[in-house]
Amino acid sequence: MGSLEHDYLLADKDWVKSSTKEFIYTKIYIPRESKSIDVTSSLTANRAATKLRNYLFEQLAINPEFQIFINGERAYNFGELSIADLLRVTTADGELIFKFNLNNKLRQYNYLDYLFSQEYLISTVGSHIAHPDKNKIDVPNNTKLNILSEESARFNAQHKRNVSQTATMKEYQLNDIFGVATEMNVAVVKDIIDFQNTVNGDSDKIKPYDGACIVNPFMVLLENYSLGADAAGYVKKPFFHAYKERFGTGIIIKTAGFGITNDNLRNLAGTKILMKKMTNRRWRDQNGSIINEYNIFDSKISGGTFSGTSYDQIFYMKDGIVYQRKLQWISGTNYAVTDY
């Protein structure tokens, strides 16, 4: 808040701490004691929570039978109660032990701030509904907890992508005769699924490209021409912003763009295929030979090697015990695995 807002809030004497002249954000009442704790800039919510937890410990010391409940379930570890938990702490008969009263002016400010912030986000990067989270939500599907977790994850993803509004960006110089065109062809394909394995046998699905964009190398050159003195190599993160007036919502496209290089073409079969499809022509290698090998390297483990990497000494720890693993190729895709 700025100085004008602060002065406006201090005008209400009922919400100013007389001893320190600080603005009171929240008053926490303890009905049993007929007293309250004022949350100010010097007594933050976390410090206030410590005072409330100490109060509960004091009650327990006075009465060993003292019990508290959260959502009808008894709570035992007072020291781990967060400020959110303390808002819901009750006695056995359901009476709230603490009552919170937020400053009404601050409540109004929060409503307006949230409204304007959300309208800004919607008009720049779009609704949180359009921002799926990349992480797995480890709760049962089709449950209230799952829906709340999904909504929270999408709000976080929406805010994360809003950094594009404050990032250091360099705009393309449009209409440059050597630069990027106003239109380009983009192919959107489903990311491949692979398995990531560890030496102790754990495995999980991954998306190795993570939504990355493979860029035609000639497009990379044109981009750098359009960036002028801000040319930035072969790997960039292009941003695209647009606004949909009909719905009052923003559109954002953000992707990692990896330009194809000679090194990619020499070592990655998939890149050779992409280059062929992007340009609709067959390319030659540095020796003038047609590039037509589209098979990934032989992945057999033979003689203790895998694609040139030695696996003679593999050690890993599980449950505090160190194991050594030996891999021996038998035939085809059959291997003998020995742990000792």
Averaged pLDDT, 179-198: 76
Rounded Cα distance, 14 and 18, in Å: 9
d(CA 182, CA 175): 8
> Is residue 115 scored above 60 in pLDDT?
yes
Q: Using a pLDDT cut of 90, give the percent of the chain over it.
A: 0
What was the pLDDT predicted at 144?
Answer: 66
What is the spatial distance between Cα 324 and Cα 16, in angstroms, rounded to a whole number?
Answer: 67
At 307, is the pLDDT very low, low, confident or very high (cuts 50, 70, 90)? Answer: very low
75: helix, coil or strand? strand
Dihedral sign from CA coordinates of 306, 307, 312, 316? negative
Mean pLDDT, the chain, rounded, equals 76
pLDDT at 329 over 70: no
pLDDT tens digits, residue range 14-55? 888 878 888 888 888 888 777 788 888 777 777 888 888 888
Question: End-to-end alpha-carbon separation of the chain, Å?
Answer: 63
- pLDDT given at position 302: 34
Global model pTM greater than 0.85? no
3 state SS of 120:
helix
pLDDT in tens, 256-300: 889 988 888 777 777 877 887 787 766 666 677 766 543 333 333
Six-digit token string for 319: 């449950």
Is residue 311 very low, low, confident or very high in pLDDT (cuts 50, 70, 90)? very low
Q: Please state the separation of Cα 142 from the chain's center in Å.
A: 22
* Per-residue model confidence (pLDDT) at position 303: 36
| pLDDT exceeds 80 at position 163 | no
d(CA 238, CA 229): 17
Percent of the chain whose pLDDT exceeds 70: 81
For the cut 70, the answer to whether the pLDDT of residue 334 exceeds it is no
φ, ψ for residue 126, nearest 5 deg: 90, 170
Residue 301: band (very low, low, confident or very high) from pLDDT cuts 50, 70, 90: very low
Average pLDDT rounded to a whole number, residues 205-223: 83
80 vs 317: CA distance, rounded Å: 32
pLDDT tens, position by position, 80-100: 788 778 888 888 888 888 888
Going from N- to C-terminal start, the domains of the chain cover: 3-102, 117-167, 305-339
Average pLDDT over residues 59-70: 84
Cα atoms found within 13 Å of the Cα of residue 171, Cβ hemisphere only: 4
